[in-house]
Amino acid sequence: MPIRTNRGRAAVYRRLWGWPLRSTTHLTISLVVLAVLMIAAGVLIPKVIGDTNPRTGRAGQISVNPDDGKAAAPGGSSRTTSGPLPTRLSEPRESPTTAPPNGDAMRVAEQFAAAWVNHPQGITNEQWLAGLKPFSTDEFLPTMSTVDPANIPATRITGQPVPITSLTSSLEAEVPTDGPKLSITVVSTNVGWRVSAFDQAG
């Protein structure tokens, strides 16, 4: 027969809460049951309330679908490719190729050296640069604009240019003077061979 009064329910609750305190055995059984319930809750609750998103695996871990972000092909299917992705450079760059010294490049190196040592007394920097201009690249010539021709330690060429390195598109030659040797780099441009750098080899 169901309990219909609050006083009857209170009596039942007192008996249930008082049962573990009746003896040490009852208390031990109650603690064991409570521990089992807590362990079961700790195992079951994460599974029940865990992430149900099909794109994720276990709770807190996100799995990546390799097809994400790819456009679907006609018909609703997506196409994937296997293997490593191509690198930015699909073809290796060609390395410089050695070649016999180009006669035109050698002549330009000699003509540049002849213009470099040509600095009669009183010549201005502008006049001296005008002699170098036909044999120099447009980028290199401005670097000579601060040179005082009166300080150049040579007045004439004393020998033929000697090739040091020779490639298909550039050449380095040494030109002897009555001062330092000139190490001259000549490059191939769309207007012919031109000097792009030089140094005094000593």
pLDDT single digits (tens) 119-160: 999 999 999 999 999 999 999 999 999 999 999 999 999 999
Do 158 and 117 form a contact (C-beta atoms < 8 A)? Answer: no
| pTM summary value | 0.54
Over 50: is that where the pLDDT of 77 sits? no
Token pair for residue 199? 């140094």
Residue 110 makes CB contacts below 8 A (sequence gap 6+) with 157, 160, 161, 173, 175
pLDDT single digits (tens) 153-176: 999 999 999 999 999 999 999 999
* Angstrom distance (rounded) from CA 192 to CA 107: 12
Per-residue confidence (pLDDT) for residue 117, from 0 to 100: 95
pLDDT single digits (tens) 50-73: 655 545 445 445 544 555 544 444
